[in-house]
Amino acid sequence: MVCGNKCGCSAFCRRLFCRAKPSGSDVNEDAIPVTSTQLAEARDIKFTQNLIEPLSIGSLIVCTGTPSDDLPWFAVNIGCGNLETTRGDVAVHFNVRLPQCYVVRNTRRHDKWGPEETTAYKLFPFKINRPFTIEVLVDEKETLWAVDGEHYCSFAHRNPSPLAAGWVQVAGVRDAALKIHKTDIYPTLAPPLLDVPFRTSLSEPAKEEPVWRPNVIATLTNGIPEGHQVVIVGRLRPLLHSLSIDLMDFGREWPRANILLHANVRAHVESQLARQLVVLNAWLGAWGPERRQRTAKLVPGTEVSIFSICCLSS
């Protein structure tokens, strides 16, 4: 489904993200099909770095490069096996397909591909002739992928696991460069966090309203004072799948912060009912027992929706 003029983004709405459809003549999926010759050339342009030490929790792979118009396909592969004598297994295949404006993640074992994953938390971030920086963080159960300082997606470990990888490879990028080191924060290129502004009332105009991005992490400098509310105003997706609000003890993607309150609206669960399912929980090293209630009554595609979290005295 294309949103068109109703939401103003001219985007394909797909579950967790809104994938922008390129305008103008930059990229057109119908007008510029990817030929087998282009795919073969992209696969032949490879830069491989063997790992001196195995990847471990906190390992960060940084890949930089620039997509070119004659190579509308590129990939970052983390794998194991001897590439010179066999094709090797690919623990993580991060495949950017510029004409289609999406990224495929997958695993290849014994020359067989598994099921593809394509959902993401952000709009498609790549563009021909625009340099990019991809950060890959290896965690215990998944890899986290950031593009230009913003978390883009995650990919759960399969078999083989990237923790057993022996090499990292970039295909389809002529000026590719790789760096691998340990880190204690991700993404390392993340912009400074925005502060949530304080107002005396909901009707009070904001003096300096921040420019909010989708899936944002913002800071409450003084916490939530007693008797105050956190108010979130926004527009719902025309195809509403789910949304969540987390109150955390630290503003970061990784290491994972404690989630003191997790409010998750699951509009896709029995969507024919009059009210949507709301799941409340907390993460303190692990998820606690869920509290489920069917109390949300949201209208997909509406211009403004308000969620309020009120802090009362204990």
- Contact call for residues 313 and 282 (beta carbons, < 8 A): no
Higher model confidence: residue 264 or residue 27? 264
Is the pLDDT confidence value at 82 over 80?
A: no
Q: In CATH, what number does 194-200+213-310 get?
A: 2.60.120.200
pLDDT tens digits for range 44-65: 778 899 999 999 999 999 999 9
Is the pLDDT confidence value at 110 over 70?
A: yes
Share of the chain above pLDDT 70, in %: 81
The stretch 25-38 carries a mean pLDDT of: 50
The two structure tokens encoding residue 25: 């003549």
* pLDDT value of residue 17: 37
Region of poorest pLDDT, from 19-28, 134-143, 276-285: 19-28
Share of the chain above pLDDT 90, in %: 56
- Contact call for residues 253 and 227 (beta carbons, < 8 A): no
Higher model confidence: residue 213 or residue 95? 95
pTM over 0.95: no
CATH of 23-182, one of 2.70.70.10, 2.60.120.200, 3.90.79.10, 1.10.150.530: 2.60.120.200
The CATH 2.60.120.200 domain(s) of the chain lie at: 23-182, 194-200+213-310
Give whichever of 212-226, 231-245, 274-288 has the largest mean pLDDT.
274-288
Average pLDDT, the chain: 84
